[in-house]
Each structure stands twice: as C-alpha cells, then as structure tokens.
Structure 1
Amino acid sequence: MPEVQRAAQALWDFHCVYDTLVPSDVIIGLGSYDTRVASRCAELFQRGLAPHIIFTGASGNWTQALFPDSEAKSFQAQAIANGVPKKAIVVEPHAKNIGENIQFSAKLVPSAQRVILVTKPQTQRRCAATAQKQWPAVQSLVTAPKTTFEDQPLAHHDMRALICEMVGDLERIRRYPALGFQAEVNIPPHVSRAFDALINAGFVDHLQT
C-alpha cells in the first residue's frame, strides 16, 4: 500500500526531532516498550554529555507482559549491560505517561538548567511539547535512537502498531494543548492530510475514545 507508506513516513518525519545535543545536567530516559532508548541513554552518558541518567516509567499496558519489573528498572538493567555504572542511574518507577515522566523527573533534579530527554523516535515531538509546558524552567533537548522508519518495528510492536501509535500521538498533539498538558505545536497541512488518510485506512487502534 504505497499511499499508506507515504502517509506513515510523513508522520514519522514530523514526529522525529533530534535536537543538537550539548553537555547537560542529566539524561532522562522515558520508559516504553523499546529498550533501544536505554541503549541510546548509555551512549550519551559514555560520550560525557551528562553525569547521571534518570530512567522514568511504571509498568504500562504495552510493557506489563514484556518486562519483569517497571520500565524504569528494565531500562536501568539495559544501561548497566551497556556499561553505565549503577551509581550513575536514578530510577523513577511511578510515571504512567509522558506528562508524569517530565513532572516526576523535574522533582528529582530541581536545580537542573538543561536536560536531555531520550524517547522513541516517533515520540520526540510530543515529548518536546510536553516538556515545554510541564517543565518550562529548563532547556530541554530531545533525542532518540537513530533508527529509520523501516527499522523501528519490533517483534512485539510491529509496523501496524507503530503506525497506530503515531496516529494516536498526533491526535494527542492536537488535543492536549487545550487541556494544559502540552505546548501548542504547528502541524503542517501535509501532516494533517497524512493523519486523515491513515485514519481512513483503519489505523485507529491508539486513538482515544
């Protein structure tokens, strides 16, 4: 389905941010089903971009059957396996959404001035908008594992799940500013058209009801 592929690529390109990174006070890894985020945090730590990592995330709908513990604890284990000392990691195992990821992490480092937020590639735009609203006192730099759209699906989160996730996140980017959860984001017309096309094609599993 080339139309679906083109529309999905348009959403992927919009969701990806990849800020230019500079030394910061802390690296914050947002928990999810994708442990490549933890590996990316480890890479940034080993490059000396921050002296500590916070992993934040409870056990959610997509991960309660995937990990033996919280997302944060599972990410900690992945980072340690990638060479990060345990003493350099703080675990925040209670956050259940991106807003709480930001809010709870902010309480752990109240004096931070610049942070690096690491999330899935397709969640970067929403993460940035949430940080702008929920933690405006800091400079937030957003990044992710540098995977391509084609390489992003996993055995437990296939291409259909990925596309539905991107559609759902764009819906939230549209709706959440009015609820006070995120900053306003300008959505280009071609992205809105791609969003509508994917909904019409049935990629609606992650839409809110």
Structure 2
Amino acid sequence: MSGNGSALDDPEIAHAVETLWNYHRLDNGLGTRTDVGIGLGSHDLSVAIVTAELYHRGLFPLIVFTGANAPTTVERFPRGEAVHYREQAIELGVPADAILVEDQATNTGENITRTRDLLTATGHDVNAVTLVSRPYQQRRARATCRKLWPEVDVVTAGASTELREYVASIGDERRVISMLVGDTQRIDVYAHRGFAAPEPMPADVLDAMALLLDRGYTDRLI
C-alpha cells in the first residue's frame, strides 16, 4: 500500500474494520414503532437525515436531538450538534413542533439521561425509544440506554450504508477506523465502570481490535 493509498486496500486492515463495523451495527429500529426517536449528536449529519426519514415513515411521532459540542464537532456544528440536526430535519420536512432539542449533553450517557429528563419535564410518557446514531455507535448506545434508562424498550438505527461508502461520505478514513476501535474499547470499559450494560464481545472482534491497535489506530482510546 502506498503512502497515499487507502488503509482499506490492506486485506488484513479491511477485514478487521469490517468485523468491527458489523459488530456495532444493529439496525433493529428500521421497522419498529416507538414513542420517540432520539438522534444522538456527533460529527455525522446522517443521524439527522435518518431520524427524519424514520419520522416520515411513521415509526415515531416525536424527535429529540441531543448534543452540545465536542472537539471533533465544534467547527462543523458551531451552534451545537442538536441545533444543526434540528435545522437539517426541518429542511427535510419534519414539523418544528415535532422536535425537542437537548443541547447540553457532551457524551452518550448524558445524551440518554438528559433526554430522559427532558421528556419527563415536558410531560411525555415514554415506554419505547429508537436511538439513531452513527452506524457504528448503535451497540454502545443501546448498552448505555439499557443501563441508564432500563424502564424503556430500546431499538437502534443508523444510516444504511456500506463501510467504504460511509468512509467516503465522512471524508476521513482514519477518524472512522479510530472511532470504531474506540467504541469497541468503550463497550468493555464502560460496562466495567457501570456506565453501560454488558455486551458480548466475540473472539473475532477482540482479534480485529488487537490488529488495528497494533497498526496504530489509537486516537480515540480512553
């Protein structure tokens, strides 16, 4: 592989990244009706787009966009992740009065707890939620919700795209791979710290993470 080539041209790296990509994607909320769709803030505008699509399909009557800023999002979304997501959803035809904004959360745990508190404060009775996130954040988002909001049933959704197409849409291959590695680490670490419910981690996932760590994808480790 040349210095200007894609890391995914290396078969070992490509296999490892695909393994993590498939592990984190659940997509069990693409046909399930719930009380609210919760768009989790990140650098990825597809979260707002998918949330709007699912709203128009009638899968939930209410949306909450949640997220302030992180170092990786402040330049792209200077007014805050949730605010930009709301604007995108309105451009896509979602009525403004169907959207609530939680603009203080700075991590996934706060996305869940602050959204839960906002819905309670605004008088919404919620029994089931759809978490919409980056495609590869779904497993960690579900685990976080199961721990911090166990009273609700939770399904997840993300952009229906293949890995290479997704990397191209983001325009930063290293960021995507590093975040996949970081989310895999967080599945284990956050469960041990009590921030999330435990998730199984098969041997092939552990092997894929080890290979990518060895290849230097450590930017998003905690």
**TM, length-normalised to structure 1:** 0.96
Deviations 1:67-109 (A, max 9, x none): 1301000000110111101111101000000000000111122
Name the SS of the counterpart of 2:197 in structure 1: coil
Aligned match of 1:8? 17
Distance 1:156 1:25, change over 3 A: closer
**Letter in structure 1 aligned against 2:68:** A
Residue of structure 1 aligned with 2:69, choices 59, 62, 83? 59
Residue of structure 2 aligned with 1:109, choices 119, 141, 164? 119
CA RMSD of aligned residues (A): 1.2
In the alignment, structure 2 segments of 5+ residues that lack a partner are 1-9
Contact 2:44 2:170 in 1 (8 A): no
Aligned match of 2:215? 201
Following the alignment from structure 2 to structure 1, what is the Cα–Cα distance between the partners of residues 71 and 168?
16
Deviates more, 1:39-48 or 1:59-68: 59-68
Aligned match of 1:144? 158
Following the alignment from structure 2 to structure 1, what is the Cα–Cα distance between the partners of residues 198 and 82?
28
Aligned match of 2:51? 41
1:155, distance to aligned residue in structure 2 (A): 6.3
Q: Does 1:77 align with 2:91?
A: no
**Letter in structure 1 aligned against 2:26:** V
1:29, distance to aligned residue in structure 2 (A): 0.4
Following the alignment from structure 1 to structure 2, what is the Cα–Cα distance between the partners of residues 165 and 68?
21
Query: Once the two structures are aligned, what percentage of the paired residues are identical?
Result: 40
In the alignment, structure 1 segments of 5+ residues that lack a partner are none
**TM, length-normalised to structure 2:** 0.91
Following the alignment from structure 1 to structure 2, what is the Cα–Cα distance between the partners of residues 4 and 117?
29
1:61, distance to aligned residue in structure 2 (A): 1.0
Deviations 1:137-170 (A, max 9, x none): 0001111111111111256651111000000111
Q: Does 1:97 align with 2:111?
A: no
**Letter in structure 1 aligned against 2:58:** G
Residue of structure 1 aligned with 2:185, choices 171, 176, 180? 171
Name the SS of the counterpart of 1:48 in structure 2: coil
1:51, distance to aligned residue in structure 2 (A): 1.1
